[in-house]
């Protein structure tokens, strides 16, 4: 009986002490960006990722009524819709549609532009 109890204790100890720690996936650090210029930094991201050349959010078609091709169009879209979509937040349509999420740097640039008042440089 003593052998069974000792074996059970030893087995329990071995099973629970050999727990493998789960490694966390390294995430890209979000850079701190204080000010950006629409034409030089934000608009190129919209051109590359938002189909402003006529495929999705350009002035000729404006999918869902959102136009990111011009400053006037981009600044008229509610902040929460732009940020929620590019951050892939719950309750928003993930953008770019059918593509990978923008990099943390690109999101930070757009967010800095929005938080800075959506200025038109």
Query: What are the pLDDT digits (tens) for 90-108?
Result: 999 999 888 899 999 999 9
User: Do 38 and 71 contact (CB within 8 A), yes or no?
Assistant: yes
Residue-wise pLDDT for 8-20, tens only, equals: 444 444 444 544 4
pLDDT at 59 over 50: yes
The pLDDT score that the predictor gives to residue 80 is 93
How many C-beta neighbours within 10 Å does residue 102 have?
21
Helices (H), the chain: 2-17, 43-49, 71-76, 79-86, 104-115
What are the extents of the domains in the chain?
30-115
Spatial separation of the C-alpha atoms in residues 71 and 121, rounded to whole Å: 9
pLDDT at 32 over 70: yes
pLDDT at 37 over 70: yes
């Amino acid at each position: 009986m003593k052998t069974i109890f000792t074996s059970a204790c030893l087995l329990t100890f071995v099973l629970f002490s050999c727990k493998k720690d789960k490694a966390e996936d390294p995430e890209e650090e979000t850079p701190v960006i204080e000010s950006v210029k629409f034409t030089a930094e934000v608009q190129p991201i919209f051109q590359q990722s938002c189909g402003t050349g006529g495929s999705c959010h350009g002035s000729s078609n404006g999918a869902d009524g959102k136009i990111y091709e011009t400053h006037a169009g981009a600044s008229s879209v509610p902040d929460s819709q732009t940020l929620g979509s590019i951050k892939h937040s719950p309750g928003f349509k993930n953008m770019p549609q059918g593509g990978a999420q923008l990099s943390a740097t690109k999101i930070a640039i757009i967010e800095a532009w929005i938080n800075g008042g959506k200025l038109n440089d």
